Amino acid sequence: MRKEFLPFALPLIEEDEIAEVVDTLRSNWITTGPKTKRFEEAFKDYVGAKNAIAVNSCTAGLHLALAALEIGPGDEVIVPSFTFAATANTVVHVGARPVFADIDEQTLCLDPADVEKKITPKTKAITLVHYAGRPGPIDEIMAIARKHGLKVIEDAAHAIYTKSRGRMIGSIGDITAFSFYATKNLVTAEGGMVTTNDDSLADKIRIMSLHGMSRDAWQRYSATGSWRYDVIYAGFKYNMTDIQASLGLHQLAKLERFQKLRKQLVDRYNEGLAQVEGLILPEDRIEPEDRHAWHLFTIRVQKEKFGIGRDELVEELKKANIGTSVHFIPVHLHPFYQTHYGTGKGDLPVTEKVFDEILSLPLYPKMSLQDMADVVDAVGAIAKTYA
Ligand SMILES: *Cc1c(COP(=O)(O)O)cnc(C)c1O
């Protein structure tokens, strides 16, 4: 057994990020400024979108997307329930109603057929989550949206690096929001990015991200700036700081290396766990032109065959000094949604079935192959005990 606890997730911060943050701190410009601008430019080029707006979280990005599309009271937005709460919470924040659609059991992303069933005259948008970093059915969702005059928002919290049929996520839907939270593939501690090919939406999102002011502080306080500004929306305080952008610039530059390390771990996990009875591995079944970002490595525990269920396996792995996590507790089963929207067990059969079985194993570039082998050995040993 491992002597040291293996955390579920750890960021990989190296000397160049540290030096860049120190440089920012010494520069006298610590909030949104030149480094945020550079990070936006680099990110925009990376995903191939026309516009990128840096924000302080993916949640902020999702909120801005809905606000910029003028979605509000009386409107409905179709979202998966098999996601982090922010995907639905932000719909509530703008006063609209989240309508939950089920997922496809292979992709664990929205099931286009169920999405179509949930459309009503009040539906304004669909939010697609690319679960675990695997591309969701973006073309199918876009086709449904166009047919019904709806907008498509992509929650790409897991999907930096993800490609769908050769195109980078962030360059396809109407608005895409990325997360740079501490556990994500690219980290800025807290942070996010919104991308869109629509220039007027981009302007609106940028203005709304900083109090609805028509000019940002960097422009106002620079030598050529003026003190005047106009507030043209009741905007938010969602801007990214140059301290965060300092991390982001270097993390983006080394993303390819991080992704290679993730893929190497995934391949070994697949090899190591293939023989264990009662586990469903995250078979990608993705098309040749697709690319998986492997944000998460999720297994499904089939209690009958494996011997114990997911909850018991979590406890056994904890005893073996291995941290795990569950992505996600379905949003429609959380008390807030049950109380306010009357959702509950039985609404989404595939989501609920997958939730009962799913478990995320540690997967991050800072993990060694030995760490990964420890996880495989522990799972194998537990399987033997209960077989
Ligand atoms: C992490 C996550 C978010 C929220 O990201 P923040 O940057 O923490 O706001 C949204 N959606 C999904 C699917 C996530 O995993």
Indicate the pLDDT class of residue 172, thresholds 50, 70 and 90. very high
Residues 303-329: what's their mean pLDDT?
Answer: 97
pLDDT digits (tens, 9 = 90+) for 27-63: 999 999 999 999 999 999 999 999 999 999 999 999 9
pLDDT digits (tens, 9 = 90+) for 121-170: 999 999 999 999 999 999 999 999 999 999 999 999 999 999 999 999 99
Q: Which among 57, 62, 181 is the best mutation to test ligand 1's pocket, defined by most ligand atoms within 8 Å of the CB? A: 181
Q: What's the mean per-residue pLDDT of the chain?
A: 96
Q: Is 306 in the pocket of ligand 1 (CB under 6 A)?
A: no
Indicate the pLDDT class of residue 116, thresholds 50, 70 and 90. very high
Q: Is 259 in the pocket of ligand 1 (CB under 6 A)?
A: no
Residues 168-189: what's their mean pLDDT?
Answer: 98
Beta bridge partners of 239: 55
The reported pLDDT for the residue numbered 271 is 95
* Nearest-CA residue for atom 8 of ligand 1: 181
Q: Is 129 in the pocket of ligand 1 (CB under 6 A)?
A: yes
Q: What SS3 state is found at 115?
A: helix
Note whether 326 and 318 are within 8 A (CB). no
Closest ligand 1 atom, residue 59 Cα: 9
| 220 Cα: distance to centroid of ligand 1 (angstroms) | 32
Distance from C-alpha of 104 to C-alpha of 44, rounded to nearest angstrom: 30
The reported pLDDT for the residue numbered 387 is 81
Q: Is 179 in the pocket of ligand 1 (CB under 6 A)?
A: yes
Catalytic option among 184, 237, 303, 353: 184
Distance from C-alpha of 43 to C-alpha of 45, rounded to nearest angstrom: 5
| 55 Cα: distance to centroid of ligand 1 (angstroms) | 13
**Does the pLDDT of residue 220 top 80, yes or no?**
no
**Does the pLDDT of residue 223 top 90, yes or no?**
no
Backbone φ, ψ for residue 48 (5° rounding): 75, 35
Q: What SS3 state is found at 31?
A: coil
Pairing of strands 167-168, 163-164: antiparallel
Q: How far apart are the first and last CA of the chain?
A: 20
Q: Which among 59, 79, 186 is the best mutation to test ligand 1's pocket, defined by most ligand atoms within 8 Å of the CB? A: 59
pLDDT digits (tens, 9 = 90+) for 318-375: 999 999 999 999 999 999 999 999 999 999 999 999 999 999 999 999 999 999 999 9
Q: How far is CA 81 from CA 25, 35, 58, 216, 311, in A?
A: 40, 36, 17, 36, 20
DSSP symbol at 85:
T
Q: Which among 63, 155, 251, 363 is the best mutation to test ligand 1's pocket, defined by most ligand atoms within 8 Å of the CB? A: 155
Distance from C-alpha of 385 to C-alpha of 281, rounded to nearest angstrom: 20
Handedness of CA 371, 374, 378, 384 (dihedral sign): positive
* Nearest-CA residue for atom 2 of ligand 1: 157
Instruction: Provide the residue count of the chain.
Output: 387
Q: Is 55 in the pocket of ligand 1 (CB under 6 A)?
A: no
Token couple for 115: 């999405």
Distance from C-alpha of 139 to C-alpha of 133, rounded to nearest angstrom: 16
Distance from C-alpha of 265 to C-alpha of 185, rounded to nearest angstrom: 14
The reported pLDDT for the residue numbered 348 is 98
**Does the pLDDT of residue 216 top 70, yes or no?**
no
Nearest to 82 by CA among 19, 134, 7, 24: 134
**Does the pLDDT of residue 260 top 90, yes or no?**
yes
Q: Is 124 one of the annotated active-site residues of the chain?
A: no
| 157 Cα: distance to centroid of ligand 1 (angstroms) | 5
Note whether 151 and 69 are within 8 A (CB). yes
Distance from C-alpha of 203 to C-alpha of 38, rounded to nearest angstrom: 17
Indicate the pLDDT class of residue 215, thresholds 50, 70 and 90. confident
Residues 114-122: what's their mean pLDDT?
Answer: 98
Nearest to 181 by CA among 193, 168, 196: 193
The reported pLDDT for the residue numbered 218 is 65
Handedness of CA 139, 145, 149, 150 (dihedral sign): negative
Q: Is 32 in the pocket of ligand 1 (CB under 6 A)?
A: no
Distance from C-alpha of 298 to C-alpha of 361, rounded to nearest angstrom: 6
pTM, whole model, 2 decimals? Answer: 0.97
Share of the chain above pLDDT 90, in %: 93
Q: Is 57 in the pocket of ligand 1 (CB under 6 A)?
A: yes
Token couple for 379: 């799972």
| 224 Cα: distance to centroid of ligand 1 (angstroms) | 37
Q: Which among 63, 179, 363 is the best mutation to test ligand 1's pocket, defined by most ligand atoms within 8 Å of the CB? A: 179
- Amino acid symbol at 70: E
Distance from C-alpha of 179 to C-alpha of 114, rounded to nearest angstrom: 27
**Three-state SS sequence of 325-366:** ECCCCCHHHCHHHHHHHCCCCCCCHHHHHHHHHEEEECCCCC
Q: Is 239 in the pocket of ligand 1 (CB under 6 A)?
A: no
